[in-house]
Amino acid sequence: MNVWLAFVYERHIHHRQAFAWFASLRDDQRACLSRFTQISLLRLLTTEALMRHEAMNQKQAWSVYDNLLKDGRVAFLDEPVHIERAFRAFTQSLLPSPKLWADAYIMAFAKAANMTLVTFDRALKARVGDAILLQS
């Protein structure tokens, strides 16, 4: 989620890293959004605590999203058929772990869709061996 925000928001601390990664995609590669990452991006763009005076209204956030999809290297993917199996497999901790749910869903989506996860989050990278960790 933060990779998408960093990519679309030029003032983000990791914008250059996200932009460089995106620019490095080959013609046959796509950066994909899921419903979860779509909603997260829209939510973050409209969050005043994060965006401060640049927080967008919903219509503006949709515009940013729509412009993102105009790039042929970006695609929206529906939920993979077998995501529930992978999601359940990643959420078998016996400890309370409210912060793991979102990461587990993203990990499950990538696994079920046979895709590579891209993140700034070192802990998430540690849980997903073949993820791409963008360095800050």
Q: What is the per-residue pLDDT for 20? A: 97
Rounded mean pLDDT, 57-75: 97
Task: State the Cα–Cα distance between residues 67 and 69, nearest whole angstrom.
Answer: 5
Q: Kindly indicate the confidence band of residue 67, based on its pLDDT and cuts at 50, 70 and 90.
A: very high
Statement: residue 132 has pLDDT above 70: yes
* Mean confidence (pLDDT) of the chain: 95
Statement: residue 136 has pLDDT above 70: no
Domain ranges of the chain: 1-78, 80-136
Q: What is the per-residue pLDDT for 43? A: 98
Q: How far is CA 130 from the centre of its chain?
A: 16
Statement: residue 60 has pLDDT above 90: yes
Task: State the Cα–Cα distance between residues 17 and 26, nearest whole angstrom.
Answer: 17
Query: In sequence order, what are the beta bridge partners of 87?
Result: none
**Taking Cα atoms as reference points, which of 52, 77, 73, 74 lies closest to residue 65?**
74
